[in-house]
Amino acid sequence: MAHNLYIDCGKARMMFVGETPWHNLGTRLNEAATSAEAIQAAGLDWRVRKVPLYAIEGSGVVPIPNYCGVVPEDRWGKPDCPVFGVVSQDYQVLQNRDAFEFFDSIVGQKAAMYHTAGALGKGEHVWILAKLPGMLKVTDKDVLEKYVLLSTGHDGRTAIKVILTPVRVVCQNTLTLGLKNGDLIASAHHTREMPRQLDLARHSIQVLMRGFQDMEKSFQAMAAMKLDKETTIKYLARVFPTPMHGAESETPRWITEDRENCLQLFRTGIGNDDPAISETLWAAYNGVTEYVDHWRNRGGREHMQSACFGRGFKIKTLAYEEAHKMIQAA
């Protein structure tokens, strides 16, 4: 299994538009898809269900009250059927098709805007990426496309999240922004309140998407702030902090390597040699995003999940937050 994509009968449950991803997996479409086209191409048109749980005790079977297992309907009863998660009876499932329909209500009903979608693990995590009209301009040569990412899970632990994720055209870095305070993210949980939370999220996201102009100003401010080597090293030390164990801690070698690699990409990263960007906070921030998206743990089974939802996602979030603090303090 490559990069934790869900592989079924030798085929990755994923679709993409345009250039083939570096993992060389998924179904390629020549142009952006509607939600109906995307869910079919990605192989996500299947349902999940809650099933009762039992424990074997001696020669008998004892039902486990108040809890259920979440399983894919099309594989239920088969020897290889996975249990995505153990959940309470109050857990509310969100079917993949319902997630696409919810996304349609945000980005445009039946609009051909979907660029990638897929499932991770054994199908327990699902994501959808849609492209919005318009661009963000940092400099004359450095622009970003506007995307919105929806992720959900069937494991009982993963909330439904919608995140604004601009993508830098020159290098395809995925920028993760301002998520600490929830100002560029909306979410809902798989509880009885899920329908109401999704409705609130729908309205809040429509407001958030009007905030892309604020992002553009933030990126332009980064590009206007020159950094010397010492300041860049301090910035990277905050993005990759030393874990504290007692009063004093030695920086682990892997963190030192993360910092050194990002410092190198600050100078040599794709697009960072542009005189309008070179040796700026924007170059330092994109050194981090390029490292996480294209180099850190590349080839590892969890690379995609880390960059989009896990440890790599948190690194990119912190990189933006620290850069934003520098802008505010200037």
Task: Give tens-digit pLDDT for 225-283.
Answer: 999 999 999 999 999 998 876 556 688 888 999 999 999 999 999 889 899 999 999 99
Identify the pLDDT of residue 1: 37
pLDDT at 65: 94
304 and 159 within one domain: no
238 plus 156 within the same structural domain: no
Q: Is residue 294 part of a domain?
A: yes
User: Are residues 148 and 234 located together in one domain of the fold?
Assistant: no
Residue 130 falls inside a structural domain: yes
**Domain final residue pick, 157, 177, 211:** 211
Residue type, 280: T
- Over the stretch 269-314, which tens digit does the pLDDT of each residue have? 988 989 999 999 999 999 999 998 877 665 444 545 554 556 777 8
Q: Based on the domain organization, do 226 and 283 belong to the same domain?
A: yes
Examine the domain organization and report whether 186 and 203 are in the same domain: yes
Maximum Cα–Cα distance for the chain, whole Å?
75
What are the beta bridge partners of residue 164? 148
Looking at residue 109, what is its pLDDT? 62
Residue 168 β-bridge partners? 144, 173
Question: Mind giving me the DSSP string for 101-161?
Answer: HHHHHHH-TT-S-EEEEEEETTTTEEEEEEEEEEEEESSSS-EEEEEEEEEEESSSSPPEE
Measured between alpha carbons, how far is 278 from 325 in angstroms, rounded to an integer? 20
Report pLDDT for 163.
79
Q: Give domain status of residue 1, yes or no.
A: no
Asked which of 168, 185, 211 is the last residue of a domain, the reply is 211
- pTM for the predicted model, two decimal places: 0.74
- The set of residues, in sequence order, having a beta carbon less than 8 Å from that of 307 and lying 6+ positions away, is 174, 292, 293, 296, 313, 316
Question: Are 98 and 181 part of one and the same domain?
Answer: yes
Range of the domain at 296: 215-329
**Same domain membership, residue 41 and residue 144:** yes
Is residue 321 domain-resident?
yes
Q: Does 51 map to a domain?
A: no
Residue 306, domain member (yes or no): yes
Task: With CA atoms as reference, report the closest residue to 317 among 206, 164, 168.
Answer: 164
Domains contained in the chain, number:
2
pLDDT of res. 286: 92
Query: Do 130 and 26 fall within a single domain?
Result: yes
Give pLDDT < 50 ranges for the chain: 1-2, 178-183, 299-301, 303, 307
Residue 231 inside a domain? The answer is: yes
- Decide which of 180, 211, 242 is a domain's last residue: 211
**β-pairing, 48-57 with 7-8?**
unpaired
Q: Are residues 171 and 235 in the same domain?
A: no
Euclidean distance between the first and the last CA atom of the chain, given in angstroms as a whole number: 47
Domain co-membership, 198 together with 227: no
Is 269 domain-assigned?
yes
- Do 129 and 20 share a structural domain? yes
Q: Is 241 found in the same domain as 324? A: yes
What's the pLDDT at 214?
Answer: 79
CA distance 60 to 64: 13
